[in-house]
Structure 1
Amino acid sequence: MFSGMHYVYQVYKARSFSKAAQQLFISQPALSASVKKIEERIGYPIFDRSSKPLSITECGAKYIAAIEEIMAVEQEFTDYLNEWQEAHVGSLTIGGTSLFSALVLPPIMARFSALYPNICLTLEEASTGKLEEKLQKGEIDVLIDNDELDDRVVERQLFFQEYLLLAVPEHYPINQELVEYQLSLNQIRSRFEVEEAPIIPLELFQQEAFILQKADNDTGRRARKICRQAAFEPKVLLEVDQQLTAYMITASGMGISFVGNLLILGLPTSHSVIYYKVGTDYARRNVYAYWKRGRYVSRAMAEFLSMMKPAR
C-alpha cells in the first residue's frame, strides 16, 4: 500500500502532477499512472483532481499523515546509522527566524562545517510558527528561538540570555533630561554592566508613540506587558512583524521600540538611537535550542548542540 509513497508525497508537496514529475525527473503520465495504482490499492482517491491547485481528499490526508510517520521512522534509523558511523556522513537542518539566521547561527555553522565537512548542513529561515511545525514534522532537526515552546512536544537546551532594551530616537527632547540613564554600546556588550545600570522610569515615555511587534510575537507580548507594569497602555503608531523592522523605524526617528541586545550588537553602530534599561523580568528572556521530544539525537546533532552551550 505504501510502495511508491514518495511519488504521492511529492505530488502533495508540489500541489501539481506536472511540477512533481519535473522534480522527480519522470514523465507526467508515468507519475499519474503510479499514483492511480496506489489509489486503486487503497480503494479511494488521494487527490481531488477537480480543484486548482490540486488538493487532497479526507482519505488522502490520512494517507499523507501515514507517509510522514513512515518517513520519520526512516529518518530516525538513518540518524542511528550516521551515529554508528561516527558522524562521517549525514545531514542536519537548523531552523531560525531572520534575526537568528543572520546574526547568531552563521559563525556556529561555520565552526561545525569545519569539523564535520561531510555533514550536509542546511539553514531554514521562517517565522517561529512555521518552524515549530517543521520541527514536529521532522523537516528540521534543531530550532533556535526566544519563544517559550510547549515542553510536552519539545526538548530544549539553554543557548543564551537576551535583554530587551528601550530604543528611543536620538533627536527626542526627552533624552536630554535622561542622560544618566543612557546605555553605551560597551555597557550593552557586558551583561554585568547592563544588570548594574540604572532603570529608566518607563512612564516618562507614556505620551510618546511606539513601534511594536504584533501581539502574537514574543517581543510584542513582552513590550505590552512591560508598559502595563509601568501603568500605561502604549500608543502604538505601527505594528510590525520583525524586530529589525521596528529598530530601523526607530532609527529613522519615527517612534520608540523595544529591541534585544543581540540585535543592537549585531548591527553597525548607529548614533541615531539612544538605549535605556527596562526594569522588569519581562525584559529578560532565554534563547533556546529546541528539538522534537523523544526523537533520536544523532552524534552530529549532539556535537552541534554542544557548540551552543552557554559559557560558564
Structure 2
Amino acid sequence: MFRNKEYVLAVIREGGFSKAAEKLYISQPSLSATIRRIEEKLTVPIFDRTTTPITLTDAGREYVKRANEIERMERDLEQYISDRVNLFAGEIKIGASSLFSSFILPKMISSFNKKYPSVSIKIFENNTKNLMRELAVGEIDIVIDNAVIKNEALSSVLYASELLLLAVPESLAVAPELGDFALSACEVKAGKHLEAKYAVELKSFIGCPFVLLNSENDTGKRADLLFKKHLLTPNVLFRLDQQMTAYNISSTGVGVSFVSDTLVKNIDSSAAMRYYRLKDAESARNIYLYQKSNRYHSIACQRFVEHITKLSQSTE
C-alpha cells in the first residue's frame, strides 16, 4: 500500500491532482487511478474529494504520516550506503536566516570545502519557524540559528556567542553623559564592546524612536522582553522581519535598532553610527547548529559539524 506513496505525497505537497500530475510527469487520470488503487487496498479513502481544495481524511492523515516516515528512512538508508561507497562525498543542505547566510555561512563553507572539496553544500534562507519545520521533515540537514529551540526531536551544538547592541545614528540626539560609552564599528570589531565598563541602561534611550523586529524573531523577542522588564514603552516606528533591514533603516538616521555584534563585525565601518552595550544579561545569546535527533546523519554532515565547532573554538 506504500508502493506508490510518492503519488499521494505529491498531491499534498503540490496542493492538488493537476499540479501533482505535472510534477510527476504523468497524466491526471493515471494519477487518480493509482491513488484509487491505494485507497482500495486500504479499504478507506485517503482524500475527501467533496472539499475545495481537496483535503485528507483521518485515514489519509495517518497514511501521509507513515509515508513521510518511510520516505525519510529510505533517504537515510540511501545516504548510509552512499557514505560507505563514496567516503566524504555527498551533499549538505543548510538552513539559515539571511543574516547568517550572508555573514557566517560563506566563511564556514570556504573553510570546510578546502578540507572536503568533494562535498557540495546547498543553502536555504528562511525564518526560524520555517527552517525548523523543514529540518523536522528532513528537507534540510542543519539549521544555524540564535533562537533557543526546546524540542526533544532536535539536537543542538553550540557554535558561538554574540551580544545584542543598540545601533544609534550619530545624528540622533542622546544624553551627553552617554558619550563615553559610545563605540564605533571598528571598536566593536576589535572587541571593545565586550568590556563590561561600556554597558549602559536601556532607559537612557527611551526618548528615541525605535526600529524593532517582529516578536517571532529572537532579536525582536528579546527587545520586547527588555522593554517590559524595565517598564518602558518605546516609540516604535517600524516592525520588520530582518535585522539587516532594521540596521539599514537606522543608518539613515530614522531611529535606534537592536543589532548583534555578529552583524556589526561584518558590515562597512563607514556608516555614521554608534553602538552601545546593554547591562542586561538578556542581550547575550548563543548561535547553535541544529539537527534532527534520532535519524542517520551523513558522514559529510558529521564532518561539517565537527569542523565548524573546532574552527569556532580555535578563533575564541
Q: Which residue of 2 aligns with 1:46?
A: 46
Residues in 2 aligned to 1:154 and 1:58: alpha-carbon distance in whole angstroms: 27
Residues in 1 aligned to 2:193 and 2:177: alpha-carbon distance in whole angstroms: 21
Cα separation, partners in 2 of 1:85 and 1:232, compared to 1, 3 Å: same
Q: Which residue of 2 aligns with 1:119?
A: 119
> Residue 166 of structure 1 contacts residue 275 of structure 1 at CA under 8 Å; is this kept in 2?
yes
1:209-238 Cα offsets, whole Å, 9 max, x none, are 222112232111211233344452323232
1:311 aligns with 2:308: no
For structure 1, which segment, 47-56 or 91-100, has the greater mean C-alpha deviation from structure 2 after superposition? 47-56
Residues in 1 aligned to 2:149 and 2:283: alpha-carbon distance in whole angstroms: 18
What SS class does the counterpart of residue 183 from structure 1 fall into?
Answer: coil
Residues in 2 aligned to 1:245 and 1:24: alpha-carbon distance in whole angstroms: 39
Q: Give the alignment of 1:133-144 within 5 angstroms.
A: 133-144=133-144
Residues in 2 aligned to 1:114 and 1:251: alpha-carbon distance in whole angstroms: 36
CA RMSD in angstroms comes to 2.1
Q: Amino acid of the residue matched to residue 102 of structure 1?
A: S
Q: Which residue of 1 aligns with 2:249?
A: 249
> Residue 21 of structure 1 contacts residue 27 of structure 1 at CA under 8 Å; is this kept in 2?
yes
1:7 aligns with 2:15: no
Q: Which residue of 1 aligns with 2:293?
A: 293
1:227-250 Cα offsets, whole Å, 9 max, x none, are 344452323232222212221221
> Residue 197 of structure 1 contacts residue 277 of structure 1 at CA under 8 Å; is this kept in 2?
no
Q: Amino acid of the residue matched to residue 195 of structure 2?
A: E
1:8-65 Cα offsets, whole Å, 9 max, x none, are 1112111122222222222222222212211221122222334443332222111111
Residues in 1 aligned to 2:294 and 2:248: alpha-carbon distance in whole angstroms: 40
What SS class does the counterpart of residue 311 from structure 1 fall into?
Answer: helix
Residues in 1 aligned to 2:166 and 2:88: alpha-carbon distance in whole angstroms: 46
> Residue 96 of structure 1 contacts residue 145 of structure 1 at CA under 8 Å; is this kept in 2?
yes
1:61 aligns with 2:66: no
Q: Amino acid of the residue matched to residue 158 of structure 1?
A: L
Residues in 2 aligned to 1:179 and 1:192: alpha-carbon distance in whole angstroms: 15
Q: Amino acid of the residue matched to residue 9 of structure 1?
A: L
1:186-229 Cα offsets, whole Å, 9 max, x none, are 32123465235511232221222222112232111211233344
Cα separation, partners in 2 of 1:193 and 1:203, compared to 1, 3 Å: closer
Q: 5+ unaligned residues in a row in structure 2: which ranges? A: none
Q: Which residue of 1 aligns with 2:209?
A: 209
Shift of 1:99: 1.4
Q: Which residue of 1 aligns with 2:98?
A: 98
Cα separation, partners in 2 of 1:288 and 1:265, compared to 1, 3 Å: same
Residues in 1 aligned to 2:18 and 2:120: alpha-carbon distance in whole angstroms: 29
Aligned residues between the structures: 312
Residues in 2 aligned to 1:270 and 1:57: alpha-carbon distance in whole angstroms: 59
Q: Which residue of 2 aligns with 1:21?
A: 21
1:76-134 Cα offsets, whole Å, 9 max, x none, are 22232233235344332111112112221123224434544443422221111111111
For structure 1, which segment, 50-59 or 12-21, has the greater mean C-alpha deviation from structure 2 after superposition? 50-59
Residues in 1 aligned to 2:175 and 2:184: alpha-carbon distance in whole angstroms: 14
What SS class does the counterpart of residue 308 from structure 2 fall into?
Answer: coil
- What percent of counterpart residues are identical? 35
Cα separation, partners in 2 of 1:108 and 1:70, compared to 1, 3 Å: same
Q: 5+ unaligned residues in a row in structure 1: which ranges? A: none
